[in-house]
């Protein structure tokens, strides 16, 4: 660990090295998971501001989860993902994918979609439809970027959570006989 935004990083690193690699990995894995939980909560908070029905918001917020990654030996990591929790009774489409699944449509609200048109697919027909009052225009989902907003607003809190959790766990491990 290098001295950076984490207070007392040098002392923490020294104490972790003294405790041994197994305890060091366990302590840091738990600390990084605490930081991922902070990011998860921030992204969920920003997802609540996306304009959609209340039930869809609830399902989206519940689908945003954190996971500890196994990674390479000696590395510790965690991340966020949107879980697949399809609505009951909706079934599957022709390709076998679940219908009405937050994992699928969460990306549409985060990144947005291109304008969609019914009817002809040629560029000329699309341009004409735009000029003629958008006849055949069936909508576009605006990007709300709740994931990136959640990461930006939660960065300082997550670093603090990682540091606090690591310090707390190192003190606990160091006090053991």
Alpha helix stretches (DSSP H) within 20-122: 21-47, 54-63, 102-111
Mean pLDDT lowest for which of 2-6, 89-93, 161-165?
2-6
Q: Kindly report the backbone phi and psi dihedral angles of residue 152, in degrees, each rounded to the nearest multiple of 5, phi listed first.
A: -65, -45
pLDDT digits (tens, 9 = 90+) for 35-67: 999 999 999 999 999 888 888 899 899 999 999
Please compute, for residue 174, the number of CA atoms within 13 A of its CA located in the half-sphere on the CB side: 14
Alpha helix stretches (DSSP H) within the chain: 9-19, 21-47, 54-63, 102-111, 123-131, 146-175
- Which is more confident, 175 or 9? 175
Which pLDDT band, with edges at 50, 70 and 90, does 72 fall under? confident
Nearest to 32 by CA among 153, 168, 166: 166
3, pLDDT greater than 50: no
3-class DSSP assignment, residue 42: helix
Predicted local confidence at residue 98, as pLDDT = 63
Tokens for 125, please give them: 């027909």
pLDDT digits (tens, 9 = 90+) for 108-153: 889 988 877 666 666 666 665 565 555 566 677 888 999 999 999 9
3-state helix, strand, coil in the chain (%, to 5): 55, 10, 35
Q: With contact defined as beta carbons under 8 Å apart, do 27 and 169 qualify?
A: yes
Predicted local confidence at residue 2, as pLDDT = 45
92, pLDDT greater than 60: yes
Predicted local confidence at residue 1, as pLDDT = 42
DSSP state of 85: -
Mean pLDDT score of the chain: 81
Angle between helices 54-63 and 102-111 (to 10 degrees): 100
Report CA-CA distances (Å) from 131 to 74, 90, 124, 128, 134. Answer: 59, 38, 11, 5, 7
- Domain boundaries defined on the chain: 9-85+152-175
Predicted local confidence at residue 102, as pLDDT = 84
Predicted local confidence at residue 62, as pLDDT = 92
**Cα–Cα dist 60/131, whole Å:** 36
């Amino acid at each position: 660990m290098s001295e950076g935004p984490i207070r007392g990083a040098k002392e923490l690193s020294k104490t972790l090295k003294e405790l041994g690699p197994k305890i060091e990995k366990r302590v840091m894995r738990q600390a990084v998971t605490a930081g991922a939980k902070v990011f998860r909560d921030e992204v969920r908070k920003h997802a609540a501001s996306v304009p959609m029905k209340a039930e869809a918001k609830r399902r989206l917020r519940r689908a945003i989860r954190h996971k500890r990654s196994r990674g390479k030996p000696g590395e510790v990591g965690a991340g966020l993902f949107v879980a697949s929790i399809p609505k009951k009774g909706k079934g599957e489409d022709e390709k076998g994918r679940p219908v009405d699944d937050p994992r699928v449509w969460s990306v549409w609200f985060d990144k947005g979609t291109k304008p969609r048109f019914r009817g002809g697919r040629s560029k000329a027909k699309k341009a004409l439809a735009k000029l003629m009052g958008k006849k055949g225009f069936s909508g576009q989902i605006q990007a709300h970027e709740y994931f990136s907003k959640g990461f930006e607003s939660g960065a300082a809190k997550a670093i603090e959570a990682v540091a606090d959790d690591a310090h707390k766990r190192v003190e606990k491990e160091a006090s053991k006989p």
